[in-house]
Amino acid sequence: MPGFTHADLARLFSYRPPTDAQSELYDTIQRKAYDLARYLLEVTPSSAEQTLAIRSLESAVMHAVSSIARASGPTNTVAQAHESPLCGHAWSHGDAPQVCGLLKGHSGPHHALKTGETA
């Protein structure tokens, strides 16, 4: 299984302010999950399984909201929010976009790919 790329990390750890429509979806998801959690609390005995059911519901809400947010694309990555000592040069390798994670000033092979120079 391949590891993470810098593009993956930017997608996973970027802030996406919600639109009004997204905020409404988040509220609806959270209200419905709260209603189900209250129902589970009423009809199930206090137990490890009850805790797991409610925690799993909490996790499901977080993943649902995250899926909506991430579908809109990143708007503020860590590299955009803070000056980075990393190169950050972007290039493509096949169909996969790549982002250089080496220190600025280096001359990696991807720079040659972009400029046609030899590495």
Q: Does one domain contain both 85 and 110?
A: yes
CB burial class (10 A; 0-12, 13-18, 19+) of residue 103? exposed
Structural domain of residue 48, as residue ranges? 17-71
**Helix, strand, coil percentages in the chain from 3-state DSSP, rounded to 5:** 55, 10, 35
CA distances in angstroms from 25 to 28, 67, 85, 108, listed in the order given: 5, 12, 38, 44
Split at pLDDT 50, 70, 90, the class of 70 is confident
User: Does 33 map to a domain?
Assistant: yes
Instruction: Domain count for the chain, please give it.
Output: 2
Residue 66, pLDDT above cutoff 60:
yes
Q: Check residue 115 and give its pLDDT.
A: 46
Q: How many CB atoms lie within 10 A of CB 79?
A: 15
Q: Is residue 76 part of a domain?
A: no
Can you read off the two tokens belonging to residue 44? Answer: 């199930």
Does residue 7 sit in the same domain as residue 29? no
Shared domain for 6 and 28, answered yes or no, is: no
State pLDDT tens for residues 1-50.
578 898 888 888 888 889 999 999 999 999 999 999 999 999 999 999 99
pLDDT for 85: 47
Pairwise pLDDT comparison (98 vs 119), residue with the higher score: 98
Any domain includes 5: yes
Judgement on whether residues 6 and 26 belong to the same structural domain of the protein: no
Predicted TM-score (pTM) of this structure: 0.56
Residues 53, 39, single domain; the answer is yes
pLDDT tens digits for range 85-112: 455 555 444 444 455 555 555 555 555 4
Q: Give CA–CA dist 83/89, Å, rounded.
A: 14
Q: Is 21 in the same domain as 66?
A: yes
